[in-house]
């Protein structure tokens, strides 16, 4: 079956991870949806109810819960363009657990499309239990009160429940972690993000908006006490190995997005846009003074072309010298400062190349692996 990406023309269940999904197997409807031009409330209602029904019939997943009976008070964690996130205490199996409640702000094509993307990624059987991708807890419909408080103007909106990150986002978490004392921790968290990203790419899924704000940090029973998981797949794009139709990402966050993020490319090439964003994320985690996002913005917006994109790698590598010069009391995750510079420099060369085909995520992840301080050159 020919297919293109989720936001190109259609999607199907032949991409890696979909054929074994218990949510897709029982479907009696066509496996193809034109979610770009035909996504409306009726289409989404059918899609959402279908997977919810399958979950409630025991085909995997969780039952939807009645918010009025099963949920405690909520605490708003923030709002994006299309959704609002709340922390809610949920009663299940005679105990209460904390979940993040992601609900749409409106019911329209632009607001519903990200929820389709989010569900398709989180329901992939190859990704649902991955240790570095946020886990889906449940999904249901909820009532969104109208702004004017008029009862008959209230809307029925989709809601996705994911596990609650008690340590917040990576951006928030690292603000409270002194760089000099947490280099090993930062290395491990970056490596975990890389592993999650590799898993997405193996399922031909592009995250599309990788940045520290879209990485959650959880308390975990690990030597360092925490673990990182990728979240927010509202801008994700799903492709298949056979399809080479040029497509563009549905969104992104400049300057964390790659230079080609608005360009139409085959999914196999567009996938490296995540690799570029990963390089910036690693740089931001090990940066003393330079903000890689601001540096890239200046690089891309400089009309005089005095600062060329290719210099980004050089600037990233130069910024490492200030870390290598830290006092000996600082614990580097590498035995020698030169090894530190070599390993992260190799990561930058594998990720921040201006040409998409010159990037290599797998080599970059190997280079930052705490158990393998250097990758094979």
Each residue of 311-327: pLDDT tens digit? Answer: 788 888 887 776 766 65
Quick one: average pLDDT of 234-241?
Answer: 86
Is the alpha carbon torsion for 117, 215, 369, 347 positive or negative? Answer: positive
Assigned domain for 158 exists: yes
Q: How many domains does the chain divide into?
A: 2
Closest to 197 in 3D by CA, of 249, 248, 273, 258: 273
Whole-angstrom Cα distance, residue 203 to residue 343?
A: 27
Whole-angstrom Cα distance, residue 2 to residue 21?
A: 20
Considering the entire predicted model, what is its pTM?
A: 0.75
Assigned domain for 13 exists: no
Each residue of 172-181: pLDDT tens digit? Answer: 899 888 877 8
Beta strands in the chain (DSSP E): 71-79, 83-92, 95-104, 136-144, 155-163, 205-206, 215-219, 226-230, 237-238
Say yes or no: 208 and 323 in one domain. Answer: yes
Whole-angstrom Cα distance, residue 68 to residue 65?
A: 9
Say yes or no: 118 and 248 in one domain. Answer: no
Say yes or no: 119 and 210 in one domain. Answer: no
The residue that leads in pLDDT, 108 or 358, is 358
Each residue of 325-338: pLDDT tens digit? Answer: 665 545 555 555 56
- Supply the pLDDT for residue 76: 56
pLDDT-based confidence at residue 292 (cuts at 50, 70, 90): low
What backbone torsions phi and psi does residue 162 show, to the nearest 5 degrees? Answer: -125, 165
Last residue of a domain, one of 123, 142, 163: 163
Say yes or no: 225 and 327 in one domain. Answer: yes
What backbone torsions phi and psi does residue 191 show, to the nearest 5 degrees? Answer: -65, -40
Closest to 229 in 3D by CA, of 218, 245, 238: 218
DSSP for 216-235? EEEE-SSTTSEEEEE---TT
Q: Give me the CATH number covering residue 77.
A: 3.30.200.20
Say yes or no: 187 and 245 in one domain. Answer: yes
Q: Are 190 and 235 in contact (CB under 8 A)?
A: no
Say yes or no: 115 and 189 in one domain. Answer: no
Q: Are 71 and 89 in contact (CB under 8 A)?
A: yes
Whole-angstrom Cα distance, residue 33 to residue 19?
A: 16
- Supply the pLDDT for residue 18: 36
Q: Are 105 and 144 in contact (CB under 8 A)?
A: yes
Last residue of a domain, one of 109, 139, 163: 163
Assigned domain for 32 exists: no
Q: Range with the lowest mean pLDDT among 190-194, 238-242, 280-284?
A: 238-242
DSSP letter assigned to residue 133? B
Residue 353 domain boundaries: 170-367
- Which residue reads 């004392």 in tokens? 181
Say yes or no: 349 and 283 in one domain. Answer: yes
Q: Give me the CATH number covering residue 207.
A: 1.10.510.10
pLDDT above 50 for 56: no
Closest to 277 in 3D by CA, of 226, 236, 337: 236
Assigned domain for 4 exists: no
Instruction: Determine how many CB atoms are found less than 10 A away from the CB of residue 304.
Output: 5
Each residue of 212-229: pLDDT tens digit? Answer: 999 999 999 999 999 999
Assigned domain for 12 exists: no
In sequence order, the β-bridge partners of residue 144 are 155
Whole-angstrom Cα distance, residue 228 to residue 216?
A: 6
Rg of the chain, C-alpha, whole Å? 21
Say yes or no: 175 and 265 in one domain. Answer: yes
Say yes or no: 344 and 242 in one domain. Answer: yes
What share of residues in the chain are helix, strand, coil (percent, to 5)?
35, 15, 45
The interaxial angle of helices 272-285 and 311-319, nearest 10 deg, is: 30
Closest to 106 in 3D by CA, of 58, 39, 41, 10: 41
The residue that leads in pLDDT, 332 or 262, is 262
- Supply the pLDDT for residue 245: 86
Assigned domain for 85 exists: yes
The two three-digit tokens of residue 241, written as one number: 């190995």
Assigned domain for 24 exists: no
Assigned domain for 270 exists: yes
pLDDT-based confidence at residue 30 (cuts at 50, 70, 90): very low
Say yes or no: 98 and 159 in one domain. Answer: yes
| Mean pLDDT, the chain, whole residue set | 70
Say yes or no: 290 and 260 in one domain. Answer: yes
Last residue of a domain, one of 136, 163, 190: 163
Say yes or no: 225 and 148 in one domain. Answer: no
């Amino acid at each position: 079956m020919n297919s293109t990406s989720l936001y190109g023309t259609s999607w199907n269940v032949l991409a890696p991870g979909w054929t074994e999904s218990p949510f897709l197997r029982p479907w009696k409807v066509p496996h193809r949806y034109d979610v770009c031009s035909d996504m409306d409330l009726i289409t989404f209602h059918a899609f959402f109810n279908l997977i919810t029904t399958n979950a409630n019939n025991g085909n995997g997943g969780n039952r939807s819960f009645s918010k009025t009976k099963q949920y405690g008070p909520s605490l708003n964690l923030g709002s994006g363009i299309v959704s609002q996130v709340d922390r809610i205490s949920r009663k299940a199996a005679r105990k209460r657990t904390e979940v993040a409640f992601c609900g749409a702000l409106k019911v329209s094509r632009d607001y519903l499309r990200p929820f389709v993307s989010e569900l398709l990624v989180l329901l992939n059987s190859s990704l649902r239990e991955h240790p570095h991708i946020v886990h889906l807890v449940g999904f249901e419909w909820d009532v969104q009160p109208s702004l004017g408080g008029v009862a008959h103007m209230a809307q029925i909106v989709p809601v996705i429940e994911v596990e609650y990150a008690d340590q917040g986002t990576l951006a928030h978490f690292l603000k409270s972690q002194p760089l000099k004392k947490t280099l090993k921790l930062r290395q491990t968290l970056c490596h975990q993000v890389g592993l999650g990203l590799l898993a997405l790419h193996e399922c031909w899924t592009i995250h599309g908006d990788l940045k520290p704000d879209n990485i959650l940090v959880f308390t975990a029973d690990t030597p360092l006490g925490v673990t990182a998981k990728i979240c927010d797949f509202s801008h994700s794009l799903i492709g298949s190995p056979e399809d080479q139709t040029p497509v563009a990402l549905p969104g992104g966050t400049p300057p964390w997005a790659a230079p080609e993020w608005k360009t139409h490319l085959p999914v196999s090439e567009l996938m490296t846009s995540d690799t570029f964003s990963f390089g910036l994320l690693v740089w931001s985690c090990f940066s003393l003074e330079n903000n890689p996002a601001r540096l890239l913005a200046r690089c891309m917006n400089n009309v005089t072309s005095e600062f060329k994109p290719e210099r980004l790698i050089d600037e990233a590598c130069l910024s490492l010298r200030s870390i290598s010069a830290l006092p000996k009391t600082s614990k580097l995750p590498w035995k020698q400062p030169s090894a530190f510079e070599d390993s992260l420099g190799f990561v930058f060369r594998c990720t921040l190349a201006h040409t998409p085909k010159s990037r290599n995520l797998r080599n970059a992840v190997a280079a930052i692996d705490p158990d393998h301080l250097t990758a094979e050159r």
